Structure 1
Amino acid sequence: MREDAPKLRARLLELAQVQKNRHLSEAELWEAADILRALGKESAAQEAEAAALRQRARELLSSPDATFTLGDEADNIDVFYCRECGREINRATAEKHYYYCPECHAKLGEQA
């Protein structure tokens, strides 16, 4: 058994008490994972690491920098491609022919 096992267990108990009152921060979860691994609890350490990654994701998603809309990006696209043949078409043609090139749009009209 490790010499510092009592200290590690004490810190783990501290973190458990903190967790009763609030969610642990990402750093605290990583610390818990390290302690659990040092105490030979590999599966519990992996669960703590997974929780740390989920906490990081929550923090990133709640950040104001996390806002991203495809609409803003799509408005800046000037090159479009035909849905049938993949040929490059401009915005006006794409909007006029429902994202088909004139040739493919004509073929589709003949089939209907």
Structure 2
Amino acid sequence: MELTDYIASNRAVAEAVCQRLAHEIDKLGLSATVTYPQYEGSSFELIKDPYTGQQNLCCYWFDQHKRHRLGRLQFNSDGSFYAEYDVSQPHPTKKKWFIESVTAWGQADNMKAEAKLLPMAQ
């Protein structure tokens, strides 16, 4: 399969992952200060799975100037995926916590997501 085939065959799940990450951002109350990940316009590449030897699709999200990577979504050859999207902001209501990122993982029919929080430096 070609890169364009991988991009097309993973589109529906990838868009659902982007929506789930956006939902996690919204739950944190950050929709006004954080851009949402979008499948369209991502940077794509195929990487070889060191365990299976098969190709995995990686999608990278960058800032509007394409200088800083904001996140990554990887589709594994076993049908699973993992996504992480940087938020890098203090938690709006929990003053002792910093939001590093939002993550999503699983498979198309069993998706999980959460925010990755770190204690704020004292």
Q: Same fold (TM over 0.5)?
A: no
Of the two, which has the highest radius of gyration?
Answer: 1
| Greater relative contact order (Cα < 8 A, sep 6+) | 2
TM-score (norm 2): 0.28
TM-score (norm 1): 0.30
Instruction: Say which structure is richer in strand.
Output: 2
